[in-house]
Amino acid sequence: MASDGVPTGQLSPQPDPVPPRLAKFHAPEIVFGSGALSEGAHAAVRLGGRRPLLVTDPGLMAAGWPDELLAQLRDAGLRPQVWHDVTPNPKDHEIAAGFQHYLAEGCDVVLGLGGGSVIDAAKGIALLAANGGSILDYEGVDKVTCPIPPLVMMPSTSGTGADVSQFCIVTDTARRTKITIIGRALVPNVSVIDPRLLTTMPDELNAATGLDALTHGVEAYVSRAHNPLTDNHALHAISLVNGNLARTMHHPGDSAARTCMAQAALEAGLAFTNAILGATHAMSHQVGGLLDLPHGVVNGVLLPHVIRFNGAAEPARFRAIGLAMGLSPRADIPGAEAAELVAEEVRRLADDVGVPKGLAELGVSEADVPRLAEFTMADACLSTNPRSTSVADIEALFRAAL
């Protein structure tokens, strides 16, 4: 194990045998390091803020981080407003309420301090502030037409990557599913990453968000839209998660491991926002929307099954993933063997951090499978899965994961 938490012996991905497609790489300004939280106030000032809206949640309020940021905002001469009525898997009506608060208080810049749910809610509020209507109107790709207020995001978990992504995931409460909103307008202006914030996560949230980061790395690396600009970030994120997530669970005071996980979340986010994702996320969105379950936990259950499914048809890229996870010193390991080893290692890590082995333990039943599969087929993330899928394929994957 290297001093930075990366398994030794990993190899860089080999160049593709054909020239890469034209690639764009979206990324915000990034401030990274212990004590970086104060940069949120400086960013709000630079972006022209006078009455910034701070979006957060009750758990973060109890942990005290918003109070620290609010003091810094006031010291910078700003008049911040707070809205903290966000629940896990942010709901359409919650975002509507946050938007009304934004209007009522005459806000300008939007700050998000929290995990992926808070950050997605903050993006949704900013989207509505400039474009109006219902958040559900924007499902899909590039539906946002008007520039949105400046966004400054400060993640408190080590996995979602929402602070650097062009994604916004919202629960459609009427249909009991999650919708995916994708667009360059949703990439925050500034991401402020302070590893100190990770120390107040409950263990179950630490496990879930860490497995989410791992899933981002794996799915981005094998995505049909991957490119050399995303590959290095994806592989490094995978190695950082595999080398440090369990350590943060068993040794929560290990600041080096926490910093490595903060970097893993960042790099996985940079990879997936540009390469998009795959079947694991397309399926996980439906389970989370139906049962309001932790997204990363569902990913941890589903990912090994999707790896095996994709590895059966497109095994070659799992070789580099296996090497990044430190699974074999052989550069010539067969792809199919590498895919199986990766699937087993993901399940081993999920076991180590306490994630259930099957969806049935989370409340999913056989009767739910047809509905879940139908909604999965409409999810934007499925379009970049490396192996084409049918409804029957998705149903089989859900049943295997039960």
How confident is the model over 251-270, as pLDDT tens digits? Answer: 999 999 999 999 999 999 99
How far apart are the two ends of the chain, measured CA to CA in Å? 35
Residue carrying structure tokens 């309420």:
97
In this structure, are residues 284 and 299 in contact, taking their beta carbons and an 8 Å threshold? yes
Q: pLDDT band for 3, please (50, 70, 90 cuts).
A: very low
What's the whole-number mean pLDDT along residues 272-281?
97
Residue 7 confidence (pLDDT) above 70: no
Q: Are 113 and 124 in contact (CB under 8 A)?
A: no
Give me 345's structure tokens: 């290692």
Q: Over 80: is that where the pLDDT of 13 sits?
A: no
Question: Among candidates 176, 202, 187, 32, which has minimal Cα distance to 115?
Answer: 202
- Helix, strand or coil, per DSSP, at residue 306: helix
Q: Tell me, what's the pLDDT at 246?
A: 97
Checking if the pLDDT of 329 tops 70, the result is no
Kindly indicate the confidence band of residue 114, based on its pLDDT and cuts at 50, 70 and 90. Answer: very high
Q: What is the DSSP string of 35-97?
A: TGGGHHHHHHHHTT-SS-EEE--HHHHHHTHHHHHHHHHHHTT---EEE----SS-BHHHHHH
Q: Is the pLDDT of residue 151 over 70?
A: yes
The domains of the chain, with CATH numbers, are 33-197 (3.40.50.1970), 202-401 (1.20.1090.10)
User: Would you say residue 388 has pLDDT above 50?
Assistant: yes
pLDDT at position 19 is: 55
The stretch 368-375 carries a mean pLDDT of 97
Can you tell me the distance from the alpha carbon of 22 to that of 1, in angstroms, rounded to the nearest whole number? Answer: 36
Angle (CA) 331 336 339, round 5°: 80
In the chain, the percentage of residues whose pLDDT exceeds 90 is 89
For range 231-260, the mean pLDDT:
96
Angle of the 295-313 helix axis to the 203-222 helix axis, nearest 10: 30
Total H helices, total E strands in the chain: 14, 9
How confident is the model over 204-228, as a mean pLDDT?
97
Strands (E), 105-258: 110-114, 140-141, 151-155, 167-172, 177-182, 190-193
Cα 121 from chain centre: 14
What are the pLDDT digits (tens) for 95-106? 999 999 999 999
pLDDT range class, residue 12, cuts 50, 70, 90: very low
Nearest 5°: the CA angle 306, 207, 286 is 45
Q: What is the pLDDT of residue 328?
A: 75
pLDDT category, 160, cuts 50, 70, 90? very high
**C-alpha pair distances (Å), 259 with each of 4, 33, 106, 192, 349:** 9, 8, 36, 13, 19
Query: Measured between alpha carbons, how far is 19 from 27 in angstroms, rounded to an integer?
Result: 23
Q: What is the mean pLDDT of the chain?
A: 93
Query: What is the per-residue pLDDT for 4?
Result: 42
Q: What angle do CA 301, 276, 219 make, to 5 degrees?
A: 35
pLDDT band for 22, please (50, 70, 90 cuts): confident
Write the pLDDT tens digit of every residue in 356-371: 999 999 999 999 999 9
Mean pLDDT of 202-209: 95
For 49-92, how does the pLDDT look when each residue is reduced to its tens digit (9 = 90+)?
A: 999 999 999 999 999 999 999 999 999 999 999 999 999 999 99
pLDDT of res. 325: 94
pLDDT over threshold 70, residue 15? no
Kindly list the distances between the CA atom of residue 325 and the CA atoms of 38, 235, 328, 341, in Å, as whole numbers in the listed order: 35, 9, 8, 10
pLDDT at 33 over 50: yes
pTM given for the model: 0.92
Give the separation between CA 10 and CA 236, rounded to whole angstroms. 9
Residue 86 CB contacts under 8 Å (≥ 6 apart), including other chains: 55, 56, 57, 94, 98, 114, 117, 118, 121
